[in-house]
Structure 1
Amino acid sequence: MPTQIGKSNEHGGALRAPADPPGNHEPSVLSRYQRMFFYSAGIVISLIVALLTGVLLYSMINDYIEHRYTDFVVRTTRLQQEFLEGEILMRAFVRHAEESWDAHPVAPDGLVDKFFAQRGRIVLQTRRGFDAALVLGDITQQPPDPEVARYLALASELNPRVGASAKALSVGASGYAYTPDHRIIAIFPVPNVDDPLKSTGVKSVEELVRRIAPDIGDLADPAVEARLFANRDPMWFPPVEDPFGRDPTVRAVMPAFANGRAFLVAVREVPVSLLREELAAARHDEASMLVDSAGKVILLDTGPTGGARGLTERILSAEQQITQTTRVTRHYLRGLFIASGPVTSGGWKLVYGFTWRTILAELWPDLLGYTVAMLLVTAFLWTLLLLLDHRIFTPGYVRSQRVFESENLNRTMVAAAPSGFALLSFERGDVLLQNDLMRNVESNTHPDEPPLHVQLHRLYDRAEGAPAWQSDLELPLRLKDDRIDDLLVSLVRTKYQGHDVLLCSFSDITSLKNTERKLNEARAAADAANQAKSAFLAMMSHEIRTPLNAILGNLELLGRSPLSASQEDRLRVVTSSSTALLGIINDILDFSKVESGQMTLESISFDLGDVIRQVGAMFEPVAHAKGLEFDCMIDDALAPHYLGDPTRIRQIAINLVSNAIKFTATGEVLLEVYLKDDTARDSPIVIGVSDTGIGMTPQQQEALFSAFTQADSSIARRFGGTGLGLALCLRLTELMHGTIQVKSELNDGSTFVVTLPLPVSPGVPVSAQGDGKTRWESAAIDTHAIHILVVDDQPANRELIVAQLATLGYEAHMADSGAAALRRFNERHYDLVMTDINMPEMDGYALARCLRDQGASVPIVAITAHVAAEERARCAQAGIDEILLKPVLLDTMDATVRRLVDEAGKRPASNTGKRRDISQGPLPEHIHAAMMQSLKESLVALHAAIELGDIKTLLAQLHAVRGSFAMIQETEVANACARMEQQARDHDVAAVKDGLDRFEPLAYATLARRVMSAQPDA
């Protein structure tokens, strides 16, 4: 039906469309019939959905009840089997006893005498693999006693038979047998008490039997004896506490007869815990019980409600009204679902009951879910019907009414929105519309700041090409209380009532920004802590390696001097301990590199089999010296060469084999390498190490790869070590994208398996490319003709290196600083320079740069206690040819010197006549220009680092500037840098800033002086 478009009045209302003309009732009649059809159909469909839901719910409940009854039948069957196995074992025992008694068994030689000698106590175990039996008796006369001897012979013969029957039935044989006169009792297996009589508080066997024997009547009474002889089925008795310390048990009793007279009573015990497993009731409002023939409860288990509202009594009362049968029955009485079934031949039965509460507690989620689903389907159906009714049969709204309602809705949404909204004039920035949040925030703006709508208007970018929709703009807003709130703003240029407007929306992200700032601060703190840790480890490595270098070096020199046998033994002990300490330091440093991300891996071609053979050759004598068998197995299917880091792979193998030998006292150790899949060319390789050592528990294996952790607290005391080797193996394996696994059992050895995805290399191993070692070994070098300059600020280190070089036949001179080294180098010729890196004033880097700037091509070797990747790069930039890591042993030192001298001898001769000492006088033009440019760049970086509080950059730049000025012997400037370095280490940024203000003119004046002094010489 066409509608008339309404017009908004000045109050925001809208004109209504005119009513239908009089007499136009046909559409209303049609609408009435159509609505009746639709709603009738909806009612019918709703009833069908409800009916289907009812059928589904009924099926679910019925299936649940059937499942409960089925579970009861299974539990009844298992209980029947449990009691049946006990009765079978009892009958077998009685039958064997009667057969043996009729055969007049004879006791083994000495058994009776031993029984009497032990005062009526003996343990019988006639065959291995079966439990022993304890026989107790009241001794009234000295042997021979034919009756006692006969019972001992019977017990000796029955013990293996009972054990065999129990094993055949897969049941435990526990119980006892006693004589009718209570003089003798046999208990099997032997109770876990020192004295059964004392543990039960009796003084004689007769008293013990009377206390523990089930009440089957007086066997001395012929009537009782006849009754028992006529009924040869085992009798079951309710649970009692076991007299010998075991769990509560139910007992099956059956006497054995000979010639119509009982000569033995056998008692079979079944732990109550076995029966309770079948009685377990874990659901709401249910109970499961074992009842005797008289209706008395023997065992009971209820659900979580604990038998609320007398559930047990209700079940028993209802069950007594049911006709008793020998089959499993099921009934529903007075709101109870009851099932019962016999479990013994003596009338015991299992009774189980549950209520509607049980069903509802189990099925309520599904019942509720299907009911809700039905309601949702019904609601969807009626929603659809109402929607169709609204769209088809309801007259359409007038256009003006829709516009009016839409505008009111928009105003309501804007007013109720959690974000601030405002409509601003695009040209002037006046507020046309705004919600309450916008109004409140603007009223809370600091009076010294522009109003909020002005700041929003200024925030919009009006540049040509700028997008009309500008989102994710951040605006810090100062409030009246001087707090700063962060706003996330979106601005859109649009039209409103024919005018250009700016639609503004914003939300308060102060909490988010504060969180970001805190995260940045935490990240900076974490980075600083990590840098501090790395610096600390580097410093400690240097401080420990420096004296360790002196120790190992002097020990090596001492080993080359004549010593007595005892002195040589002590030297070996000290050397071994020092070497172990060096290994610990290396592991800690490597672990630190991995943790801080500074560990780098090589990717070179190498022979994997040869690497593993070297490890095996290293440890084979160690294993043999400990009395262990050692095998090293290399898979023939390995490729000739692989790409990877052989040093780290060797380190993993060494750690694993070392651990295996350490924790193995006897047996063997196996090292092997093979392909994980020998059918694939690109198969990962596997390195396995197995031993027969002490092994580990699962709990110990969980913490095995944690840093500084060992399997238990006694490992370090018994075997030594830091607990870092396996953690390092794990980190190195993960760096190579591999895995490491362990299989171990306590006292049964361990197996470690490392899987590495190494690609096959088509090239030749790096170790085979050229014969560098042979070249320097075969080079005709006169060691006495080689002059070496040793530079170190510590006297002990200088003296040690000079002594080592003298032992190797080299002539060495010493210098205690970089400046002294420069002077000595300019005084005479040297073939090689060995220098420490960390020295005051002029360090090793500055010394190397100074020598290279003077045109010296002599090989330079840096000796340091710690070197990271960035320090290696600095050494290369400074012109250092080789780095030796402390401690430096004689062979390594000799090899390095020979190689570098040999290589230097083959280079073109340098023009040594052009050497110039730059430590004094004017600076060469290129050096002065380089220092001036470097100073400017460093000062810019230092000022920026001070603003950001970047301590790491401050230290790096100050150290570089100090080295440059120390190189040219400007001590005052270098010392000023050193003071600022210390202040930076103390995090005193303000002091660094003040010192830098004084340092800058001093540095420029110093460089100006060094270039001006060159003018008179021009």
Structure 2
Amino acid sequence: MVHTPNGDSRVDEPSRLNRYQRTLVMGAGVAVSLVLVLLTGVVLRSAVTDYIEDRYTDFALRQTRLQLEFLERERTLRAAILHEESTWGTRAPPPQALIDEFAAQHGRVILQRHANFDPVMMLGDVTPSQPASGFAPYLALGVDFDYRLGPWAKVQTNPVAGYFYSPDRRFFGIVPAPASDDVLKQSGAKDVHELLDRIAPDIGDLADPTVVKRLREDRSSTWFPPATDPFSEQPAIRLVMPAFSEGKIFLVAVRKIYVGPLIEMLTGEGRYDEQSLLLDSAGNVILSTAKPGTGAALTQRILNSRAQAMQPAGGVHRSRNGLFMASAQVTDSGWTLVHAFTWRTIWRDIGARLAVYFAAMLLVVGFMWVLLLMLDQKLFKPDYERSQRIFESEALNRTMVAAAPSGFALLSLEQGEILLQSNLMRTYESNTHPDEPRLHARLLSLYDRSPGTPAWQSDLEMPLRLADGRVDDLLVNMVRTKYRGKDVLLCSFSDVTTLKNTERKLDEARAAADAANHAKSAFLAMMSHEIRTPLNAILGNLELLGRTPLSPSQEERVGVVTSSSTALLGIINDILDFSKVESGQMTLESISFDLGQVIRQVAAMFEPVAHAKGLEFDCMVDEALAPHYLGDPTRIRQIAVNLVSNAIKFTATGDVLLEVYLKDDTADDSPVVIGVSDTGIGMTPQQQETLFHAFTQADSSIARRYGGTGLGLALCLRLTELMQGTILVKSELNAGSTFVVTLPLPVSTGAPVSAPLDSKAEFESAGIDAQAIHILVVDDQLANRELIVAQLATLGYEADMADSGGTALRRFNERHYDLVMTDINMPGMDGYALARCLRDQGATVPIIAITAHVAAEVRARCTNAGIDEILLKPVLLGTMDATVRRLVNEAGKRPATDTADRRDISHGPLPEPIHAAIVEGLKESLQALYVAIERGDMKTVLAHLHSVRGSFAMIREAEVANACAQMEEQARNHDVAGVKDGLDRFEPLAYATLARRVMNAQSDA
């Protein structure tokens, strides 16, 4: 028992709480078990119900197909009869040669107007009293029938077959002609009349006026159950209809529908214990999907159940003897299709799934009760013992809370009142500014009570305005718990005002640094694009101009301009590389390469330059070097090129030495040393101190005398440090300089990474014919397109141009291209979207992106979009030729893909990348169009209308494309009002068209 301070006793609360918990948990276990059982029952019933509804839906589809098949055959027969009735007596007589042939073959002739048409056999009882000329109207009918029937019959899935005969049964026409040349002999009949007496369906005595009157008034076709066709020896349903002229029958037509295809149509997937029957109006079986010798018992059950429980009109019904049946009438003559299956069908198809559901329910219920029993033994009983001790220590805890040195409070979540608080909490509570809510109310509002949030919420920050106007920052930790059976919030907080002030200053400094870095990156990207783009045009056209016949003075001037442009390009490359190093965006490769070969290539590059200046140039490669090292050969080559270039630049007479050797010949892991020595102008110690600073040179006169930016050595230092190496310089004024680069390159045991083919001869030896390669060039700038096409033409390639992504997609779908070269930044559909669209259509051709700035994120976006290679402007002929040939060569080694698998975007749902690109391009073009119309800028209006028209023409939306074309014509005529009106109608039409293509995709899914 627990006693209160006044001596009263009260019931042991932990014991009562324990009983309550156990009752609640066990009761919840029983309730959950019942819910799981009921839920499993609902799931099983739903699965069975869904299956039955699916079977009924499948029946409805098959019934519709059969009914359409019958209606089509009846319609075509009726059309043929109406045609014969309208032309009987007015048709031109048959050729005399046909009558003569009919007479010569004793009343037999076969007509076949074309080798691809089925022949028509016509038979007649030619006698002295009934000569061949007496059958002339029927022979003319047969000629016309063969002409009309042949093309139409070839497109039918169930071939047209049947015959027609005269009412006196003396003339007989068969389509198609039987294989046997002598039908009468094959059937054993002496003449046509006897043959027709055997096979003609009985529609009554055609000589009886009463029968004729009934048939003329009815004017409907007559259906006959299946019978074995004497010509094809296959069972067939017969459809009979007479033709009248002046109230008399002159022809009876019989259409045969073979039973085999109909049974295949009705059989479907052929499930176990399932059957479809075609019954006549009297309930007799016409067709059955049961295999011969099987299904008789199920057929009888279906007939009995239908007779007992089904109405003649049909419908869906589940009979008492376990049959699920559905029926529907398929002909006007009362033929009915009946489909039935049993519980065994259902169990065979979904029994395993139902068993899994039931077993899963048993497993979950069993697991839950095992868990509950374990909780009772392992948790509730020990908790009861612990709660006794906790209950007894409550008074001590309250005292400890009050004396806590930090802010501490226990708040009621329901009433919002303070249950417990520390002295510090009480102090802050009383010192809060009067215009502010009380501290405990602020703490309650700070706690997130939304569903799914954790009970423990820590490191929450809250500013608190005090009575003297100061603002303190509090760091709050809160946890939701129980206290005396009620939801409470346990809060603790501490004053972090000093820390927050420091963080604010750091954030301000960081924001300023980020802004400066972003501005620098934006400036470099802009500079790269704005300078490289005209440089691309300059160098590209200079290279093309250099390949044309020029006078010596012109060649000299072209060489001077080319040299100056190349030098400018080198400066830009150094600046961008240095910026990458400074911003941490420079990445190094680690591949196997031949260091000696790299140094020899640099020597081969500069040896002619040195000799032209009158200098001795030597290259020494230590034989002790390993065959291959791991590292970045491109950056090592860049370091060596900069050092040798400087040595030659600053040396007027004497020699230049390039060497590479091991720092320690006795160590297997010795670093390698690259040294460059010259006998040039040298440097003073003061000049050497600023030698590796960016944009500085030894003295101010060097830039005027020798040129350069002073960035090359600074870049060498940064690259060397990235490779964990060092660079040293020894120099004396007027006595030359020596630069020593030490790199810790690990030895590679693998083969070096082979360089791609880079010469035309090598590609031609690989079997690549430049004239056979077709390239699509995509760029929104006319000058860029024409330059690239001119470069490709100089290299011998055939190229087409496209001014937008939409136009490029349309051209790509119209003809075959071996490679696509595209600009990245284009209005509407940019290069990334174009590449994604091509890949989504299944295109595997190489795609090259041409851009003026290649940052890391640009390369990542190109890779994700499916672009194979990036060429950095300016692109010269050698680089372009090598890249094109390499990619075409690699594409030729890939497995061939089936072009039929390419997704057709001319109709149906659009692939997501294409749809997104068209929508984005439409939005941008509409915004630009409205602005351009207000300014009267018809050139911009025409450009954007042309781009939009190309996008919609690509996806075969003629109505939208024609609307664009109409506005283009108005814009050419400067009809601003007409363009405005057309644009108001065009915008909803365009968006509705694109929305429809998405809705189709959803419905197809």
- Measured against the shorter chain, the TM-score band is 0.3 to 0.5
TM-score, normalising length: structure 1: 0.47
TM-score, normalising length: structure 2: 0.48
Q: Which has the higher contact order (CA 8 A, sep 6+)?
A: 1
